[in-house]
A and B are shown apart, each in its own frame.
Chain A
Amino acid sequence: MNVTDRRRLLGPSNAKSANIPETRTSSPSKRSEDEIRKMFLKTGLVGNANGSAYLEVDDTIIEVSVFGPRPIKGSFIDRASFSVECKFLPHIPQPNEETFKNQSGSASNVRTGLTTVEQKLSSYIETAFLHSIILEKYPKSTIDVFVTIISADTTSSSNKSLLNLCNWVSNCTSLALVDSGIEVKDMVTSGQVSLNKSTNKILMDPDYSNNYSEDDSVDCVCSYMNMLNDVVVGFWIDGNQDDLDEQTMQKLFENCNGMSKKIRSNFNSYLRGTIE
């Protein structure tokens, strides 16, 4: 006797399996060392936000919405308060989350609130944009930025991919702020480079997922306001560097600045395109 399986909903007998294409074997793109990966930009996707931006670079997909200036309840404040919340979609593995997760202890696996990695990202963005937004223009209000990381490259087990993510999140946030029409002193753009210690070579916008096995590098993400004397508004240097000297630092900053200028010109041409 044929026992029917009551526990499952079986498909029709003539079912065909879905045609899933084989995973794309990403060939290491032949970029030169000072070339940035190709990106896809789109602003104004989120209808109910005051400004929004969407950015895709390889496996990294980021969406940023800006809400504000919104009025606040309660006592008067003479400058707008600014807050940033970065969240990964629940199923997305976070870069280097193993290190920062408390394995022992009673805290269950359920994510409540933001994880430590998300908090760090939020904090970086908040610090980097605090100077740029003219908060004095918006008394008694708040400006809230919500960043959603839809997909991220997490193959590297160190902070390096987090640095790269920081870079793209800050660039995307910048675009969203422009889209929202909130007054800013200048657009903040970031660059991220990696310096190989043994060869002393700089790699712009390194792709950590592709056969990138350089443990011997120092990595830097740095955010600039290029029209204000290339002033640094946020930076984070990480990596296996056991002696940081002024020359290394200068080199990192110069190249980050170069990359941020390239991104800025990309953004400019995109924004010009949206107006026309």
Chain B
Amino acid sequence: MELYSPEGLRIDGRRWNELRKFECRINTHPNSSDGSSFIEQGNTKVICMVQGPMEPVLRSQSNPNQANIEISITIANFSTTERKKRLKNEKRLVELKATLERTFEQSVMCKLYPRTVIQVNIHVLAQDGGLLAGITNAITLGLIDAGIAMYDYVSSISAGLYDTTPLLDLNTLEENDMSTLTIGVIGKSEKLALLLLEDKMPLDRLESVLAIGIAGGHRIRDLMDEEVRRHGNLRLSKVNV
């Protein structure tokens, strides 16, 4: 199997700097949550539901200075081609959860909501690479829908290195065969809120991979912004009538 052909085509026919189909929706669960979103990044599908800011159940969860963000991730048994039962306390998931919580504590204006908790529930329905990126984008949109103040969008994308060529937005097959990093870009800037690299990547190539990742992140931000504006206009039109 050839991951990157000499003609410059990847296994799914994309070029090195092309994203997969990215679709998103916000306010998908208006009756059961304060903010919700659904994103499809290629074949990765994630539902995000945000509750809060609300009073925490336990006293110990409340922080007098800022809001607490709690993220719970459920990966459905049927999300991969081969069905697999997953435990809630799987190490990888716990780490993913910690990474996300740290990212969003910095990106949300937590100081505005002291003594509260923001509960984020993630359901992964299908996964085909870019799991962390998908979840991050879904949370960003969910928080926006819940009306929680954020400094800017956190748009996330994965990028990998094939030999010397950086590739954008990897699917499962590519992810399994090359070193991958996931970044979360803050708005239109070149600042990163999140960077996760679980294997080796040569230092001299890092810059090119980051550059393509940031460019991809900006594109994702635009797509998300489009959806937020579309939904905003829809709501506005209802108010005027």
Contact = CB atoms under 8 A, between A and B. Distances in A.
Bound pair (A, B): yes
Q: For the complex, would chain B's binding face be called helix, strand, loop or mixed by DSSP majority?
A: loop
A107 B84 CA distance: 11
A102 B84 CA distance: 12
A104 B87 CA distance: 13
Nearest to B83: A104
Q: For the complex, would chain A's binding face be called helix, strand, loop or mixed by DSSP majority?
A: loop
Contacts of B87: 106-107
B230 interface: no
The 4 closest A-B pairs by CB, nearest first: A105-B85, A106-B85, A106-B87, A107-B85
A105 B78 CA distance: 12
B111 interface: no
Interface residues of A, number: 5
Interface of A: 102, 104-107
A107 B89 CA distance: 12
Interface in B178-197: none
B205 interface: no
B192 to A, nearest CB: 34
Contacts of A105: 77, 84-85
B14 interface: no
A80 B170 CA distance: 57
A107 B87 CA distance: 8
A48 B70 CA distance: 43
12 contacts: A102-B85, A104-B83, A104-B85, A105-B77, A105-B84, A105-B85, A106-B84, A106-B85, A106-B86, A106-B87, A107-B85, A107-B87
Interface in B73-130: 77, 83-87
A105 B83 CA distance: 9
A106 B91 CA distance: 14
Contacts of B84: 105-106
A107 B90 CA distance: 12
A102 B86 CA distance: 13
A104 B86 CA distance: 11
A111 to B, nearest CB: 16
A101 to B, nearest CB: 12
Contacts of B83: 104
Nearest to B85: A105
Nearest to A107: B85
